[in-house]
Structure 1
Amino acid sequence: MCLIHLHFKNHPMYQLIIAANRDEVYDRPTEPAHFWEDEPGILAGRDLLEMGTWMGVSKNGRFAAITNFRDPSLPKKPRSRGEIVRNFLKSSVHPKEFIDELAKEKDSYGGFNVIVGDPEQLFHYNNILDEKNEIKPGTHSISNHTLNTPWPKVVKGKARFADYIQRNLGKLDIEKLFEIMMDREIAPDEQLPDTGVGLEMERKLSPAFIQLPHYGTRCSTVLLIDHEQNVTFVERTFNSGNLKFEKRFHFKIEE
């Protein structure tokens, strides 16, 4: 994922609300969201190169999502970041313990932010800053630096996301959450970060929804977990900025 908005607790109907975009090169082979044949308890899309994933949820309520840390000067590393999400979803390790163990291997991976947990507890870890956070109730966002870094897409999207949730204390309209993730407006130059990719690329990467010739937003996902342990997972797949199809899943968390 390259942009994740989440609202944790503090809502009368939902324990966890997620809206996220995955940005990737268009030709990287990918399967859309499904329950995996080799791990039937995992619901997620799948990277067919490394067999990991960018975001998923398990039948027993475990959740994980990852974003890259943008810094072109960082060296490439041998291990796939997508395995982190896969490993958490298939394990039974407590989220904090998982983060603590992951931190010991932080230099084996390229830069990342990962969120792991369940409807009761969420944790964030950034391996470049070696930063650990227990996520507090409320609204949070993350792109390609660290949790709640005030990049334009984070600030703007987080405000819209929080405003919609705070004004709607009953059942949420999934379409409204997807609309937030479809924002293609380029941020003003004075608001752009300097991550080492050059001004023109900073502009092109500044919207929530990215569309470049060979790279962009491949899918958008909305995840809702209510107080009755019902899970709604909706994924929309895009090709060069155009919607290809949608997949919807509903299930109850297993005790």
Structure 2
Amino acid sequence: MCILAWHWQPGDPTELLLVANRDEAYARPAQALHLWPGGQVLAGRDLHAGGTWMGVGRTRRFAALTNYRTGQAPRTDVASRGTLVSDFLEGSASASDYLANLAPRSGDFNPFNLLLWDGEALLGLEGRHGRIVTLEPGWGAVSNGDFHTPWPKVKRLLSGLQSAVAGGPCDDEALLQLLADTTEAAPHELPATGVPAAVEQALSSIFIRTPQYGTRASSVLRMAHSSVRFCEQVHAPVQAQVCTRTSLVFDAE
């Protein structure tokens, strides 16, 4: 994933509402949202390395990953970051125990942010320096910088989500529209991440479209006490302009 925004409210009928876009090279193969063999994980799958970018487990577990933008080419001698999501979803460790084990070896992966929820705690890990972030109930968002970094696209998506929720019950269509926003940041608002200015500009919108890279999937996730509703809209490369949508309800244990 490359941008996530959420409303976490323990005790509410919908405890966790989250919207997200996954940005990736169009050439990287992926399988859309589906129930994995064994029936315990609901997620897409990266067919290149075998992990996933975001998913839920039947025992009220959630995990999502964003890359951290450094302007440097990713290392090729390290394990896929997507396994960090799938390992948590398929395991039984609490979010805090999982991150405590992972933090000291987070440098073994390309830089990342990992967001986990185990039904009790919502925690993040900034992999580039192994810092665990405790997230409080309420609103939050993260993209390809550290947690709590106020990039324009992060503020824009979070503001849109807050407005949508304040207006009363919001359907998936309204939330997917937030994720379809192609508004770019003003040049003076762009972060300095080490990539060329023109690239930074193209990456500054919530929904990204470039010739070889862009938003591949948009997701709306609603986690309640005993069920999960997961809607994913998969976007084809810009040349095709075709998308498919999958909505699944997952009974939690």
The TM-score normalised by the length of structure 1 is 0.94
Matches of 2:11 and 2:191 in 1, distance apart?
32
Displacement over 4 Å in runs of 4+: none
Residue 147 of structure 1: aligned partner: 147
Residue 48 of structure 1: aligned partner: 47
Residue 88 of structure 1: aligned partner: 88
Q: Pick which of 69-78 and 129-138 moved more.
A: 69-78
SS of equivalent to 1:22: strand
Matches of 2:181 and 2:10 in 1, distance apart?
26
Residue-by-residue CA offset, 1:29-67 (whole Å, 9 max, x unaligned)? 110011112x43111000011110000001111100000
Structure-to-structure mapping, 1:186-225, within 5 angstroms = 186-225=184-223
SS of equivalent to 1:180: helix
Residue 231 of structure 1: aligned partner: 228
Structure 1 contact 223–234 (Cα < 8 Å) conserved? yes
Residue 174 of structure 1: aligned partner: 172
In structure 2, the gaps of 5 or more residues are none
Shift of 1:130: 2.4
SS of equivalent to 2:84: helix
Matches of 1:148 and 1:115 in 2, distance apart?
13
* Cα distance change on mapping 1:11 and 1:193 into 2, 3 Å: farther
Residue 113 of structure 1: aligned partner: 113
Structure-to-structure mapping, 1:57-72, within 5 angstroms = 57-72=56-71
What letter is aligned with 1:238? H
Structure 2 contact 104–130 (Cα < 8 Å) conserved? no
In structure 1, the gaps of 5 or more residues are none
Residue-by-residue CA offset, 1:216-247 (whole Å, 9 max, x unaligned)? 00000110012x42210000000124342111
Shift of 1:74: 6.6
Shift of 1:121: 1.3
Structure 1 contact 10–138 (Cα < 8 Å) conserved? no
Matches of 2:220 and 2:191 in 1, distance apart?
27
What letter is aligned with 1:204? A
Identity of aligned residues (%): 34
Shift of 1:10: 6.3
Matches of 2:187 and 2:62 in 1, distance apart?
35
Matches of 1:142 and 1:212 in 2, distance apart?
22
SS of equivalent to 1:104: helix
Structure-to-structure mapping, 1:22-41, within 5 angstroms = 22-37=22-37, 39-41=38-40
Residue-by-residue CA offset, 1:135-181 (whole Å, 9 max, x unaligned)? 1111100000111211110011111111211332xx43111111111
Shift of 1:15: 0.2
* Cα distance change on mapping 1:2 and 1:239 into 2, 3 Å: same
Shift of 1:75: 5.5
Residue-by-residue CA offset, 1:51-100 (whole Å, 9 max, x unaligned)? 10000001111100000000023751511000000000000001101001
Please tell me the root mean square deviation across aligned C-alpha atoms, in Å.
Answer: 1.5
Matches of 1:162 and 1:14 in 2, distance apart?
15
| Number of residue-to-residue matches in the alignment | 250
SS of equivalent to 2:245: strand
